Structure 1
Amino acid sequence: MKNLLNNIKHTDSNNFFLMAGPCAIEGEDMALEIAEKIVKITDKLEIPYIFKGSYRKANRSKGSSFTGIGDEKALKILEKVGKTFDIPTVTDIHESGEAAMAAAYVDVLQIPAFLCRQTDLLLAAAATQKVVNVKKGQFLSAGSMKFAVEKIKETGNDKVILTDRGNTFGYQDLIVDFRGIPEMRSFNVPVVMDCTHSLQQPNQSTGVTGGKPELIETIAKAAIAVGSDGLFIETHPNPQIAKSDGANMLHLDYLEDLLTKLVKIRKAIL
């Protein structure tokens, strides 16, 4: 599986790939439990799988919100997940100085949507020679993401993924323009649809982001139908008690049924 990441490129393979896991690393037992269940599902459905977990959450509405269990502790858990199940892992970074640190533990560095234009951050991630997954900003068109791709590739690192997570619609909602998937694929990079963050309802007066998880299946089906190379899904055994973004995460018990449907759609459009 990890060899796949060394040669990642735009492709029309037989199946989509999956980036999935909890929003944040809450503890070792939880991370291993989630990874084990998803590995069983993806092995069964022959879906290439990358485990996702944030070692730290930097973009929070309130200062009292959960941000993490400690950088090194969380990164070591991500490393253990990767080694235990022989799967690649992805985590997000927020500042240039974090790139080399995180790269020592994970296989893919993710650039958060709000930071996708930060040149120094993109270059630092690219310099690690890891795969770089750039989330499209809620404030940007799909076409403008070509500049993020160019910045990374100009360093000599051509391992780039772009992930759509919707566009700001008013003050407290997001909407997905599915025309963006084929447009970003034209940059000759794999394109992923973030099926959970695209359903967030940010800027709530409570300071806690809301969401519409009942529409995850709708977003995922549409993304596969228009040719998305991969899907990004945050999932948790009990979203109601998750320490971060529980309002828009998919319950882990629902993942296999959803992926089974999506594999059928993928086969139908090839």
Structure 2
Amino acid sequence: MSATTHLKSLFKDQYNPDNFFLIAGPCVVEDEALLMHVAEKVSGICKRLNIPYIFKASYRKANRTSINSFSGVGDVEGLDLLQKVKETFDLPVTTDIHSAAEAAMAAAYVDILQIPAFLCRQTDILIAAAETGKVVNVKKGQFVSGEAMKFAVEKVKNAGNEKVWLTERGTTFGYQDLVVDYRNIPIMREHGVPVIMDCTHSLQQPNQTSGVTGGNPKLISTIAKAAIATGADGLFIETHPDPACAKSDGANMLHLDLLEGLLEDLVRIREVVR
């Protein structure tokens, strides 16, 4: 199945080959009200701007720095809420998984399985995700080159699944910062798969002594604009109506009220590039 074919199948009436697609939502499932509010607002904006939209929230966060960090409302409860978003707004939805055992469980509820960056080389997880038949979105490890991500693509395809995406999310720069090498976007597109730019996690400032990851959200628009200019097929943006009170990754999320203006700018940039 070609990338065009499976994107068309995934987005249905939303499909727009002339625009980028958007993966957006809060970092983690906090409660039903938050998910419904974000999904309603973002889907409305994307319909107006003709941007294909995927709702994102993690039903569980396994990769937390501190034992005291929020990890979720419960696996089944979180997945049920994602399915409710999917059915209420007729949207594809995605969540990340953290082990091979989670793949089949999550696949019963969502359309895209996201493989966290730290796990991009874990063969058992990639194969288990591939065997569900869902789209597998593999985030490039902070320690991996764009060229080397061809091996992740091969693992998914060799398991019989052609529906694989790659996401750039920055490269480790010292202990507490990341940098984005935009060469990775065209390099990873050469692997024959859609490439997404994670505009929020690429601005994380990890390994803080507080045990809570920091971030630099004022540069989200810069990351996003450069990604569109260098040919990204999609953008990943975590967003929240009150990032300061978010239960995960609030330090690098985009305030929901700022999303519409940014997307308007990005659509204009895409038109120029195209």
Question: So what's the TM-score if we normalise by structure 2?
Answer: 0.95
- Residue 190, structure 1, aligned to residue 174, structure 2: no
| AA aligned opposite 1:108 | I
Mapped to 2, the partners of 1:38 and 1:6 lie a distance apart of 21
- CA deviation vs aligned residue, 1:145-185 (integer Å, no higher than 9, x gap): 00000000011110011000000000000000000000000
Verify the 8 A CA contact 2:221 2:262 in the aligned structure 1.
Answer: yes
2:93 is matched with 89
- For residues 73 and 234 of structure 2, what CA distance do their matches in structure 1 show? 29
Match of 2:212 in 1: 208
Distance, in Å, in 2 between the alignment partners of 1:104 and 1:253 is: 32
Asked if 1:171 corresponds to 2:175, the answer is yes
Aligned to 1:22: 26
Of 113, 131, 148, 2:117 maps to: 113
Question: Is residue 105 of structure 2 the alignment partner of residue 101 of structure 1?
Answer: yes
- Structure 1 residue 7 displacement after superposition: 6.5
Pair 1:76-2:80 in alignment: yes
- Pair 148,3 (structure 1): closer, same or farther in 2 beyond 3 Å: closer
Query: What is the CA–CA distance in structure 1 between the aligned matches of 2:212 and 2:259, rounded to whole Å?
Result: 24
- The one-character-per-residue Cα deviations of 1:218-262 (angstroms, maximum 9, x if unpaired) are 000000000000000000000000000000000000000000000
Aligned to 2:36: 32
CA–CA distance in 1 between the matches of 2:190 and 2:39? 32
Call closer, same or farther: CA 1:7–1:233 in 2, change over 3 Å.
closer
TM-score normalised by structure 1 residue count: 0.97
Q: Check whether the contact 1:5–1:131 (CA below 8 A) recurs between aligned residues.
A: no
Secondary structure in structure 2 of the residue aligned to 1:67: coil
What is the CA-CA distance between 1:13 and the residue it aligns to? Answer: 2.5
Match of 2:145 in 1: 141
**What is residue 55 of structure 2 aligned with on the other side?**
51
In the alignment, is residue 124 of structure 1 matched against residue 128 of structure 2?
A: yes
Gaps of 5+ in 1: none
Q: Count how many residue pairs are aligned between Structure 1 and Structure 2.
A: 267
Which residue is equivalent to 2:154?
150
Distance 1:197 1:4 in 2: 24
Contact 1:88–1:106 (8 Å) recurs in 2: yes
Following TM superposition, by how much is the alpha carbon of 1:210 offset from its aligned partner in structure 2, in angstroms?
0.3
Structure 1 position 260 matched with structure 2 position 264: yes
Give CA deviations for 1:94-143 in whole Å, capped at 9, x if unaligned. 00000000000000000000000000000000000000000000000010
Distance in 2 separating the partners of 1:98 and 1:107: 14
Indicate the residue corresponding to 1:217 in structure 2: 221
Q: Retained in 2: the 8 A contact 1:7–1:159?
A: no
SS of corresponding position for 1:117: coil
Q: CA RMSD in A?
A: 1.5
Shift of 1:33: 0.5
Structure 2: gaps of 5 or more residues? none
Return the alpha-carbon distance in structure 2 between the equivalents of residues 124 and 214 of structure 1: 37
Write out the 4+ residue segments of structure 1 that deviate beyond 4 Å after TM superposition: none
1:238 aligns with 2:242: yes
CA displacement 1:17-42 (0-9 Å, x = unmatched): 00000000001111010000000000
Kindly indicate whether the alpha-carbon contact (under 8 Å) linking 2:16 and 2:52 is maintained by their aligned counterparts in 1.
no
In 2, the alpha carbon distance for the partners of 1:170 and 1:99 equals 32
SS in 2 for 1:256: helix
Q: Is the 8 A contact 1:165 1:194 kept in 2?
A: yes
State the identity as a percent: 66
